[in-house]
Each structure stands twice: as C-alpha cells, then as structure tokens.
Copies of this chain bind each other. A is one copy, B any other.
C-alpha cells in the first residue's frame, strides 16, 4: 500500500491534525479526501464521477476542477482503520512553500432540500461570518514568504470580516510579508492579474449554466512566492473545491454563487486598480 502522510499546507476544512479523520497526500501529487459517511460523501462522489464525462461542461471550465482518480480504501489519518477516500489532485503538490487562500463563495451555504437542523447551523455561520455581508468568506489562508516567514491568520480573525478587513487580508496575501500593517502588494499583479482573468471566465459560465448549484463550494487560490519571483511563466492556480453540497440547478442559474463571485471579482479589481494608482502617483525615477 502506498505511503500516505498528513498535508502541511491545508488552510480549511476537516483537518487530520485535530484528531478527527482528515485528508492525506502521497508523493505522486494525489490528495486523499475521506468520504463522509452520510449523503455529503455520496453526493461529492457522484459529482466527481459524472463531472468529467458530462458533455454539458465546457472544456475551459473543466480545468477549474481538481482531477479525479476514483476512490481508494486506505488507512484513515486518525488510526481508526481502513476508510474509503476520494482520490483527487493535490493542488499544492508542485509548490515548495505554497501561499493558499480558501474562499467560500456565496452568501448562502445551504440549499432548500437541506434538513431544518442543517439550514439553521449554516444560516448562523453565514450570519456570523462575512458570507451574508460580502457574498463570500475567507475560510482559511496562509501566506509563505520567500525567506519562509509564514503568516496564517487564526480562523477567529477571519470570522467576521468587514469589506475593509477582507480587502486588507487579500492585500496581505499577495505581499512579501503578510504579518505587517502596510502590505507591499508586490505579488498582486502577478497573482491577482491572472486570478481576475480566471474569475471572469468562471463568471461568464455562471451567467448561463443551469446544471448545478454549488452550495458551500470554495475557490482555492495557490501560488508560490519563490517560483513567482524566479520564473516568468509561473502563475497562480485557481480551482473550485468541495462539492458535498452541489445540487441540481432545476433550470435556474446559480445566482447565489454568481453574486458572491462578482463580489470577490470587485475586491480583486479594486486591489489591482489600487496598484496602478500608486504607480501613477509615485512614478519611478
């Protein structure tokens, strides 16, 4: 059996480290996500199983999903024995020191078919976090500088962000050191320029797709500062993750995801516009 280990760079979701069953990775770039016992597990498995053979999904959109390698029964991270796992692409496997942001899109993380109990829990979290105000929440984030200083704000810090807070955190995410009050945003154009292009491509699809409603799904943004500095061709990776709550669209676009996506796009655009303002007001000699 292949040797698996607990990933170092996870920023959100169920984490193996906390004693409960969490994801694992191998050395070949695969990510083993424990299949949840309830309908969340079967739902996510069904989503991945049909996704890559669904002729309705355009190829330029398929690239936003992690590649899928079926399921495998492996030893669970908590030592509780064998457990079925989804085998997915490990999105950060090519990075030595990845900077990662997990941004849960949509002001509503539940869908109408959910149980009353689940709706109540989700609604409370959507209200306690920035989801209802901003249309998204930053579920987790880490920023690793070139000299290996790690900045990973605590979940509590990310909980109830105002627009101003979220803007500052996103600016810190693309700075040489996130742990400062005045972020330098030196990686902003290299990371948020391509990110904006990708989000706009997603937006175009979400304006017309009536296949899925992606409840509680995240946009994951990954980049490596060292690589970005060294290689011109290096760029941020943008993926959609977490499909346990994807439901049939029943003929309507996913207005909840689209609205949140447009809100995130506005933040990214404003950060990029802020850069050119600075460049204009402080021209280089």
Contacts and interface: CB of A to CB of B under 8 A. Distances in A.
Interface of A: 107-108, 112, 123, 127, 132-135, 162-164, 167, 207-208, 210, 250-253, 255-260, 262-263, 265-266
Contact of A252 (B108, B163, B208, B258): B163
A262 B252 CA distance: 10
A164 to B, nearest CB: 6
Number of copies: 2
Given A107-B256, A256-B135, A207 B266 contact: yes
Residue among A167, A210, A251, A255 facing the most chain B CB atoms (10 A cut-off): A255
Given A164-B251, A207-B266, A257-B259, 4 more contacts: A112-B132, A135-B252, A207-B265, A253-B263
Given A259-B258, A262-B258, A266-B210, A251 B135 contact: no
Contact of A162 (B107, B207, B250, B265): B250
B255 A262 contact: yes
Contacts of A263: 252-253, 255
Given A207-B266, A251-B164, A260-B255, A127 B112 contact: yes
A208 B266 contact: yes
Nearest to A206: B262
10 contacts: A108-B132, A133-B252, A135-B256, A208-B266, A253-B262, A255-B263, A256-B259, A258-B258, A258-B259, A258-B262
Contacts of A210: 163, 266
A266 B253 contact: yes
Given A258-B259, A262-B258, A266-B210, A251 B108 contact: no
